[in-house]
């Protein structure tokens, strides 16, 4: 198998480096400064076990690749970029080969199935950062991450099993999943906090330094109120839509001893994918495909979702303004949400 990693960011970079290190042929598709940096010097892959510069082929577009039997594409770009990527892949002649949607959200698989017959969903639990061109820091340890993979809309097959084996060999814990969308909806539920983290920043260190001070307690209470409101809407929407989600949060037993959060020497974690988008100043954010999915489902099933709708607006504003992670206070965000 040759793995084509379409979207060389935090998750895509982790996959590319891990697969290349384990002996698999890898082609990355990247853009901008990341493309130029990896072309020139390879990818600096940082983990709790150390740092290593990993080299593999990298191109700007699918049209630069001569596809062969055995090729597998892993889509790892943000959901707002998926539609254009799929058209580029189709027009480049990818043909009847497997496409794996290793992305946040639940809309990518449906989009991919318009163009390709062999579509797989992958639920990705990989705490990794990309903020510096040519560098990716993965904090998962001892495994780089945990994945569920299955055919879309359901089922498993020999291809899913082979992909799971290859990724497991690359130090990822991978499970073929008969109903992969259950865990993808579980991951979506967790990702509803991404825009909150992007707006407020990584506040753990400051809260810890404040200890039991009143302002720290106040912030914690407000943050808890915000997240309770966000997730209450999601729970109500899921019930109305008949969606059964699998719990894949940090408290899940499957993570313990398999993939926990470690430290990477010389790098402080920015946070999730949305905070990283603000940090890099990309001008876009995937909130419309995370909290926006809850809004969409709410409108389809007659469930009000005002908190998630406002968070979509907040995400677009932050990205459009070029705001840095942590540019809002908890009090300001709570006011915007009407809490």
Position 209 pLDDT exceeds 80: no
Structure tokens at 160: 């899913």
User: Residue 142's pLDDT band (boundaries 50, 70, 90)?
Assistant: very high
Separation between Cα atoms, residue 154 and residue 45, nearest integer Å: 33
pLDDT given at position 206 = 45
Residue reference for tokens 């983290």: 197
Structure tokens at 199: 């707006």
185 contacts 243 by C-beta, under 8 angstroms: yes
Total residues belonging to the chain: 339
Our separate counts of H helices and E strands in the chain read: 13, 14
Provide CATH 3.40.50.720 ranges for the chain. Answer: 2-184
Provide CATH 1.10.1040.10 ranges for the chain. Answer: 187-242+266-336
Separation between Cα atoms, residue 325 and residue 170, nearest integer Å: 32
pLDDT digits (tens, 9 = 90+) for 49-94: 999 999 999 999 999 999 999 999 999 999 999 999 999 999 999 9
What residues contact residue 35 under an 8 Å CB cut-off, 6+ apart? 8, 58, 60
CATH class of the region 2-184 = alpha beta
pLDDT digits (tens, 9 = 90+) for 182-204: 999 999 999 999 999 999 998 55
pLDDT given at position 203 = 56
Nearest to 69 by CA among 53, 93, 91: 93
Position 238 pLDDT exceeds 50: yes
What residues contact residue 212 under an 8 Å CB cut-off, 6+ apart? none
pLDDT digits (tens, 9 = 90+) for 243-273: 999 999 988 999 999 999 999 999 999 999 9
Q: Return the DSSP state at 9.
A: S
- Residue range 187-242+266-336, CATH number: 1.10.1040.10
Q: Note the Cα 124 to chain centre separation in Å.
A: 7
Work out the percent of the chain whose per-residue pLDDT is above 90: 93
Structure tokens at 242: 């008949």
pLDDT digits (tens, 9 = 90+) for 165-184: 999 999 999 999 999 999 99
Nearest 5°: phi and psi at 271?
135, -155
Separation between Cα atoms, residue 205 and residue 285, nearest integer Å: 25
pLDDT given at position 289 = 98
33 contacts 1 by C-beta, under 8 angstroms: no
| Three-point CA angle 308, 182, 273, nearest 5° | 50
Q: What's the average model confidence in pLDDT over 25-29?
A: 98
> Alpha-carbon dihedral of residues 326, 330, 333, 335, nearest 10 degrees?
-160
Separation between Cα atoms, residue 222 and residue 141, nearest integer Å: 31
pLDDT given at position 205 = 47
Separation between Cα atoms, residue 121 and residue 110, nearest integer Å: 10
pLDDT given at position 19 = 98
pLDDT digits (tens, 9 = 90+) for 312-336: 999 999 999 999 999 999 999 999 9
């Amino acid at each position: 198998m040759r793995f084509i990693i379409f979207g060389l960011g935090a998750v895509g970079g982790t996959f590319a480096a891990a697969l290349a290190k384990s002996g698999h042929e890898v082609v990355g598709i990247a853009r901008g400064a990341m493309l130029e940096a990896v072309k020139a010097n390879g990818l600096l892959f940082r983990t709790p076990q150390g740092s290593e510069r990993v080299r593999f082929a990298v191109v700007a577009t699918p049209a630069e690749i001569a596809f062969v039997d055995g090729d597998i594409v892993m889509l790892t770009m943000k959901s707002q970029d998926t539609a254009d990527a799929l058209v580029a892949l189709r027009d480049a002649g990818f043909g009847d080969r497997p496409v794996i949607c290793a992305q946040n959200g639940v809309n990518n698989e449906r989009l991919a199935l318009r163009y390709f017959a062999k579509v797989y969903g992958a639920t990705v639990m990989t705490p990794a950062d990309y903020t510096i061109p040519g560098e990716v820091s993965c904090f998962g340890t001892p495994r780089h991450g945990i994945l569920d993979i299955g055919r879309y809309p359901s089922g498993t097959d020999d291809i899913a099993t082979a992909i799971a084996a290859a990724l497991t060999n690359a130090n990822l814990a991978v499970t073929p999943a008969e109903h992969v969308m259950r865990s993808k909806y579980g991951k979506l539920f967790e990702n509803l906090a991404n825009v909150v983290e992007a707006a407020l920043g990584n506040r753990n260190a400051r809260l810890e330094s404040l200890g039991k001070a009143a302002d720290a307690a106040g912030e914690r209470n407000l943050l808890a109120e915000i997240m309770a409101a966000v997730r209450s809407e999601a729970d109500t929407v899921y019930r109305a839509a008949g969606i059964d989600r699998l719990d894949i949060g940090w408290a899940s037993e499957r993570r313990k001893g398999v993939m926990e959060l470690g430290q990477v020497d010389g790098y402080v974690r920015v946070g999730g994918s949305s905070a990283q988008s603000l940090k890099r100043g990309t001008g876009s954010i995937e909130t419309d495909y995370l909290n926006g999915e809850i809004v969409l489902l709410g409108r389809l099933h007659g469930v009000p979702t005002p908190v998630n709708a406002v968070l979509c607006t907040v995400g677009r504003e932050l990205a459009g303004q070029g705001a840095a992670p942590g540019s809002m206070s908890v009090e300001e965000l709570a006011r915007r949400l009407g809490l």
